[in-house]
């Protein structure tokens, strides 16, 4: 994969454009937020995340979907269990992933952040393939957007405490941070 900073799109990965984005108010990109998602919860490889981010989710398919039917959300990237990466929104644009949020006293993190969703749950281990793809993608983002530093990579739970818990205790922050420092080996 190769990020083109001019367009904000990664080449060499799947693109699944979402309508759920808008322009960044100041163009700033200085925070990376790691999330998790699975639809239905704890079911993987369903294609429902992609449908959800494109407002095409069949709400009759599962009872859980009725509660999220009216949500309009997206993220910049999704990393599936097998490590496949899909991009939904250009990095230059504001994806709707963080919601009500605050980082270092600053609210509305969507304005200045990138969001990466890992297919998973708070308490099921993430896969080796996901850590490898996350590390490779993050290294691309750190190179393209130098205002994102190691200290400015966090979980959704860090910017929305009490409201969000992802990526959860199953996410191995030490493994991820170590891989970033040692050249990307997980």
Residue 185 has pLDDT above 90, yes or no: no
pLDDT band at 27 (very low <50, low <70, confident <90, very high): confident
For 90-104, the pLDDT digits (tens) are: 999 999 999 999 999
pLDDT: is 57 or 26 the higher one? 57
pLDDT (mean) for 171-185: 87
Q: What is the dihedral of CA 153, 27, 143, 11, to 10 degrees?
A: 110
Residue 186 has pLDDT above 60, yes or no: no
Q: According to the model, what pLDDT value does residue 183 have?
A: 63
Q: According to the model, what pLDDT value does residue 106 have?
A: 96
pLDDT (mean) for 79-98: 98
Catalytic residue selected from 61, 80, 107, 117: 117
Instruction: Compute φ and ψ for 129, nearest 5 degrees.
Output: -65, -35
| Triad 113, 118, 124: Cα angle to 5° | 135
DSSP secondary structure, 30-72, as one string: -EEEEEEE-SSTT--S-SHHHHHHTT---TTS-HHHHTTTT--
For 8-24, the pLDDT digits (tens) are: 999 999 999 999 999 99
117 is catalytic: yes
Q: According to the model, what pLDDT value does residue 182 have?
A: 83
């Amino acid at each position: 994969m190769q990020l083109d900073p001019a367009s904000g799109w990664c080449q060499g990965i799947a693109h699944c454009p979402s309508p759920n984005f808008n322009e960044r108010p100041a163009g700033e990109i200085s925070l990376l937020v790691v999330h998790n998602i699975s639809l239905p919860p704890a079911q993987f490889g369903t294609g429902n995340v992609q449908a959800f981010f494109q407002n095409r989710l069949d709400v009759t398919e599962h009872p859980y979907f009725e509660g999220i039917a009216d949500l309009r959300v997206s993220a910049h990237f999704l990393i599936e269990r097998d490590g496949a990466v899909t991009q939904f929104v250009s990095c230059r644009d504001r994806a709707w992933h963080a919601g009500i949020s605050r980082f270092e006293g600053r609210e509305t993190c969507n304005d200045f952040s990138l969001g990466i969703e890992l297919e998973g749950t708070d308490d099921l281990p993430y896969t080796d393939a996901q850590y490898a793809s996350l590390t490779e993608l993050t290294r691309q983002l750190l190179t393209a957007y130098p205002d994102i530093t190691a200290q400015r990579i966090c979980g959704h739970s860090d910017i929305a405490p009490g409201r969000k818990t992802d990526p959860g205790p199953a996410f191995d922050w030490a493994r991820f941070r170590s891989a970033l420092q040692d050249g990307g080996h997980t």
